Amino acid sequence: MNKLALPGRLWLASDLHLSPQTPATAEAFLAFLDAAAQEADALLLPGDIFDAWIGDDVIRAAPPWLASVVAGLAQAGARIPLWLGRGNRDFLMGAELATAVGAQLLPDQVLLETDYGRVLLSHGDEYCTDDAAYQQFRTMVRNPQWQAQFLAQPIPQRLAMAAQARGESMSANQTKSAEIMDVNPQAVLTALRDSAAPLMVHGHTHRPARHVLEVDGKRAERWVLPDWDLDHAQPPRGGWMVLDQDGPVIYDVSPEAD
C-alpha cells in the first residue's frame, strides 16, 4: 500500500462539489484555503472537490468561478504541502492541474504516517461494494483506455456526457436503498485489517460521523468527513478535519448570516 509520512497539523476536507451553481460554497472554500495556508502543516483534499471534472485542459481557458478556485488552490499550494485526491466526480484530475496549483496527487488509498499514528485515507467510494452498478462504473472510468477516449472528445461534448451521466446517476440513486449507497462493513474491516491502521478517514457518503469498531480484538475508528453545501442545503453545511498528535477533530463551517 502507498505510504506517506506527514508530520504536524493536517487539515482534511472533501466533497465540496464545486460548480458554477455553488458560489457560496466556493467562497467558503476559498476562505478555508486561506486559513489552512496559515494554520496547517499540510492540506489534503481526498476527492470530489469538483462536482464534475472533464479534464485538466479546462483550466487553460477557465471560466471565472473555476479560475478563482484554481487561484485559491495555487495560493495554498505555494505556502504548504497540498495533496489532491480523486473522487467519484473528479477522477479525471491529473498532472496538469496538480502542477498548476502546486499540489501532488493522492493515490486511491494511502497510509498516512502522522503524529497521531497510522491513518488510512481515501475518498471512500471503493468501500461501497454493495452498489454493484456503481462499482462497475468505477472500474470502467478508471480504465486508462476509457479515459483516453473520453479526453479525446471536444470540451462541449465532454460537458454534455458528464451532465448526462450525472442525470442518470441521480435517477438511479432514487431507487437504491440508503444501505446500498453506504460503505460495506466487511469492506471496511478488510481495509483496516490489511493496513493495520487504527484510524480510517474518508468522505463520499455525505454521512459525517465517528464510528468505533473492533478489528481482530483491537479498537479502531472510522471517521467520515463532512460534505459541503452552502448554496442549496438548509441549514448550510460544511466542515473539515484537523488531525495532529492529539487526534482528529471536526470543525464546522459557520457561514455568516445575510
pLDDT at 254: 73
162 vs 25: CA distance, rounded Å:
21
Check: CB of residue 94 under 8 Å from CB of residue 104: no
pLDDT at 42: 98
Q: Give the residues across from 199 on adjacent strands.
A: 119, 221
Domain 3-252 falls under CATH 3.60.21.10:
yes
Is 211 a known ligand-binding residue? no
Q: What is the pTM of this model?
A: 0.94
Is 2 a known ligand-binding residue? no
Check: CB of residue 244 under 8 Å from CB of residue 223: no
Rounded to 5°, angle at Cα 125 from 207 and 185: 70
Q: What is the pLDDT along the chain (258 residues), one digit of tens a residue?
A: 899 999 999 999 999 999 999 999 999 999 999 999 999 999 999 999 999 999 999 999 999 999 999 999 999 999 999 999 999 999 999 999 999 999 999 999 999 999 999 999 999 999 999 999 899 999 999 999 999 999 999 999 999 999 888 888 777 777 777 777 899 999 999 999 999 999 999 999 999 999 999 999 999 999 999 999 999 999 999 999 999 999 999 999 975 543
Is 232 a known ligand-binding residue? no
Is 3 a known ligand-binding residue? no
Closest by Cα among 184, 188, 183 to 120:
188
Is 89 a known ligand-binding residue? yes
pLDDT at 177: 75
Is 176 a known ligand-binding residue? yes
82 vs 147: CA distance, rounded Å:
25
Is 57 a known ligand-binding residue? no
Is 206 a known ligand-binding residue? yes
Closest by Cα among 19, 14, 7, 109 to 58:
19
State whether residue 3 is helix, strand or coil. Answer: strand
Is 34 a known ligand-binding residue? no
